[in-house]
Every structure is written in C-alpha cells, then in structure tokens.
Chains A and B, each alone.
Chain A
C-alpha cells in the first residue's frame, strides 16, 4: 500500500546540504503496524511527512495504493491528505478556540461535506474515543490524554487508510501515553495502517514491524 523506492530528501542549510533521507526504500502493507525509532535528527519525521504527502522527495519514487503520488500537484496532495491520511502530532495541534467536536469536524468541513453528513461521523468518532461527554469542551479544558484522543478522533473521522503518529506520547505522562497507544493499536486492529514514531523502546517493541533509522537511512527493519 505504501511503497517508497530510493527516496532522497535533501535540505539546503546555508551552503551545506543535509541529507535528511538518504536512499530510503520501504514498503508497508495495508493494515500493518510499524514503529519507527532512532536518534534525534535521524530523519523519522521527514519520512513520516513524506509518506503523509506534506513534503516531497528530492529524488525517488512514492506509490500510495498503487498510484504514483511522487509528483502530485499541491491541490492533489491536499485532497489525498484529506481523504487517505490521518496525522497525530506530539503537540496535539488542536485549534484552541474551537470545541473538541468542532476540532474533530475540521477535516470534514475542509472537504466540503454538508453538516447533515458530518454530524453522525463526528459523533461516532468522539464516541469511539470515549469523548462524547467532552464534545463541547475547549482544548484548554481537557487533559493532555484527552487532547490527544481528540486529535486521534480528528485524524480518523475521515476514515483514512493510513494513520501517521509522530511521537504521539511525547507530551504525555506514562499512563495517558499508554492509553493513547492502546487506542492507536485498537484502530490498527480494525484495519487501519499505523505508523508510529517513538522514542520509547517499550512502545516501539509492541509494533509488529520495527524500523530503526540512523542518519537518514534505514539501519534495521525487523518483523516480529
């Protein structure tokens, strides 16, 4: 489902070129559970952004769902992100002036769905993450764990095929972090392709497939 072939991603920093990704080849099957680990600056986020079509490879080819998405236009990338990809970030990234419900609704609003069609899906998404009683709370009235659950509800309300989580537990205490991982794993169990970047070896160990990165390259790729 995700197929990266010889991907390079270079950044120009001053007159130096940083190879954030250096010849990465990676295939992920639909429904897989992949953890990505590695030292800071090894290219994990860059890889995730590329898979999520927030970024573009300098070289190499990327196929998503048997479709070449290497050279999509800006608008096409945006539409694909909206329909097929869910993002969960370390910093939650909730819009502070909108309620939990409205935050979850955002991707559907951006897609131009009429309110009648949004309501049920938003409610179901909140329900699935046990947030129904928090629907009308603003982010600053929620705990860290709840905020990340709202973010997950938002990432999954469009029923994407792929869920990309970049250090989703990085800003959470251990218990909330554990809850969030449980939620992500249960989503994976229901079929979503899950790729998690994490620093926590214990969490990383839980994935079926573990990718270890170093200096923009895949150092090891183990399947349990």
Chain B
C-alpha cells in the first residue's frame, strides 16, 4: 500500500469520528501542554538560579578557614586551625593560572557622612575585587594595591550607599566614618542589584587589613581566587593547597570550587525540572489511556470492515499498520496542539508575570512531540494487534 493512501485512509477514519477524535486528541494535548509548561517553568527557575550564582563568574575558588568536608561554607570556628591571613592571600597571587586573589572579611558597621548615617555591610577587601567578582567601578577607582599590612584609610561605596549618604553630591574625595574611623571615598561601584535577596549595593569597601581591625578578628572570612579560563582547575587547586598547607603545616582550611557548587546545584535543579516534567507526564498517561480506549472501541466497531479488507487482500501487517497509524496520528496531532498551547501559555506567563522565570527549551519541545507520538503508538499496540489477529471469516460474520 502506498504511503499517501495509507495516510488518506487513516485520515478518513479520524475525520469520520470528528468529535471523538478531537476529544481524544484533547487528552494528549492537555498532557503535552502540562509537560511543556511545567518544564518551561522548571527550566526557567533552573536558569534563574544558575545565573544568580554565576554572575560573579564561574572560574572561582573559595578558601575558608576550618576543615569542612561537605560542600558549602565553613563557619571557621571549630578546632585550633590557624587563621587565614592576608599574607596567605598574597602568597597565592604568584601562582600560575591565578588572575585575581581577594582576601575578604565582612561585617556590619555604622557609616557616617556629615550629618547622614547608615548601618551597612562593610567588606574588607583586596585591590583585585572588581576583576575577581566581575564588578565594575562607576566613578573614581577601586581600592589601590597598598602595602597589604598597612593600607591607607580609603573607601569605595556601593551605588545605594552613595545615594543614601551623598544624595546628589559628588562623594569622591569626601570624608566618611566607618565604625568610628575616618576614611576618604575614592570610588563608587556600578549597581549590581540584589543577589538571592542580598543587596549588593548597600555596601562599603575598605582594605582587608582595616576590616580585620574594625571587626576585631585575626582571620579572614574567605579568600577568593579567580583562575584563568585556560588553566586546568585541578592544577590550580593543587597549587593552592601546596602553598597553604606549607604555610599552615596542615590542611586546616576548606577549598570550594564554583564548579563543584554549580555541579551540585545543577543536579538538584535537574531533579526539580525532571520531577515537574513527570507530573506533566501523569496527565499524558491519562491521555494515553484515552487513546487506548478509543482505539479499542474503534476496532470493535469495525470488525466487519476488518474482515472485509482482509477478504480484499489486506495482510495482517497492513491491518496492524492502519490501526497503529490512527492511534499515532491522534497522539501526534494532539501533541502538536499541546505544544502550541504550552509554548503559548509559557510566553503569556513570561509577559504577564515577569518575576516568574520561564524558559522553553526547544529540545524539550521536540522530545515532548516525540513522546506524544510514542505514547499513541504504544496505546495503539494492543487494539491494533487485536484487529490484526482477527480471523477474517469470523470478522465478516460479525456484522
């Protein structure tokens, strides 16, 4: 039988029962809509979270004091580990493949400028902060490369801090007081917005050594290392461990690569997307049952017809093919409607609720359509096999 005749006969039977075909397709369409919509939201959230995490760059390594074996930050308060120092950070700067090293100490302090005052997050940081964290200076410059142990009392403001303290005035060269000590403002950062709920603009940057003094600590919170794209991560990690272990006498610090974080995060988010797709899959299953039901009814209704076409010379395989094709076409068309509906709703959602991250990956769309066709095929197998297995004589007598 020619393919186009095959298609025409299949089409004719589907059209003959328009309403029934439509309702059956609807079942699959709803399922595919759910799959597409839910994976779009899942993927949107996935991307959103990853974007949040990677906006500081992906080639980062964080070193925290204290030994912690799980991923994530260390509180650095257990045991008798040696403090992580500015000298440690300086020592790492000379390693091959390392582009930036930033000692970080962080805390809250009162910041005053003239008659205005504000409590803010204060970072004790190094000169390489902007390049390491992929942040820009809007005006002036960032903290200079001073003598790390005795830096000058200079400060850089986050953009929000600048507006709060100086309103319309030019802050460059102005005096402020941070936790009671006097600093001169030399720069203002470009706005970075909030990351995972944390306002990165409501901040003041001062040299790390002064930060340690301000917060009365002897250990840094963290040292962040930016490495070259071309460098081999394992080699950089090994070199850092070498230096720090030599300096500390043992491995009393924790090293976390951004890559590890992203891998863990990525797999968690993948599970999320997958779980959400599986929920959509349940409604697809319901659609499949609908197809199996309708095809069973169709075979029962057309027993005489099956006997007839067998008498006219149809082989069992042709009968099987005709019914399988009907089920598959039902599902595939239903799937296409579902895709259109799903993508449409996802786009609508993106426009209507911009806060909700939505992203429709086209590979999933293709997979969903393939899935729909496969489901139709599978749902059609049992009824089609029954049709093909009918004895033609008995089938002809059934009418």
Contact = CB atoms under 8 A, between A and B. Distances in A.
Interface in B299-348: 304-305, 307-318
A110 B309 contact: yes
Nearest to B316: A74
B313 A107 contact: yes
Interface stretch (B137-145, B219-227, B391-399): B391-399
A154 B16 CA distance: 21
Contacts of A110: 1, 309, 312-314, 318
B309 A97 contact: no
Given A54-B393, A89-B396, A97-B13, A107 B2 contact: no
State the main secondary structure of chain B at its contact with A.
helix
A54 B399 contact: no
Please indicate which of the listed interface residues B12, B310, B312, B396 has the most CB atoms of chain A within 10 Å of its own CB.
B312
A54 B311 CA distance: 7
Contact of B312 (A75, A96, A154): A154
Nearest to A91: B399
Please indicate which of the listed interface residues B12, B308, B318 has the most CB atoms of chain A within 10 Å of its own CB.
B308
Interface residues of A, number: 29
B147 interface: no
A155 B299 CA distance: 24
A97 B399 CA distance: 16
A84 to B, nearest CB: 10
A111 interface: yes
A142 interface: no
A79 interface: yes
B311 A87 contact: yes
Interface string A91-121: 1010111100010001101111011000000
B95 interface: no
Interface in A170-201: none
A113 B36 CA distance: 42
Please indicate which of the listed interface residues A78, A98, A107, A154 has the most CB atoms of chain B within 10 Å of its own CB.
A78
A121 to B, nearest CB: 14
B2 A109 contact: yes
Contact of B313 (A49, A55, A79): A79
Please indicate which of the listed interface residues A83, A111, A154 has the most CB atoms of chain B within 10 Å of its own CB.
A111
Interface string A181-223: 0000000000000000000000000000000000000000000
A81 interface: yes
B2 A95 contact: no
Contacts of A93: 304-305, 307-308, 311, 396, 399
B308 A78 contact: no
A111 B5 CA distance: 11
Contacts of A25: none
A74 B315 contact: yes
A106 B318 CA distance: 13
Contacts of A114: 2
B1 A109 contact: yes
Contact of B16 (A97, A102, A106, A115): A97
B282 interface: no
B5 A109 contact: yes
Contact of B310 (A54, A91, A112): A54
B9 interface: yes
A78 B13 contact: no
B124 to A, nearest CB: 82
Contact of B311 (A81, A83, A109, A111): A81
Given A93-B305, A110-B309, 8 more contacts: A54-B393, A75-B315, A75-B317, A82-B313, A91-B399, A97-B13, A106-B309, A115-B5
Interface of A: 49, 52, 54-55, 74-75, 78-79, 81-83, 87, 89, 91, 93, 95-98, 102, 106-107, 109-112, 114-115, 154
12 contacts: A75-B317, A93-B396, A93-B399, A95-B305, A109-B1, A109-B2, A109-B9, A110-B309, A110-B312, A110-B313, A112-B2, A114-B2
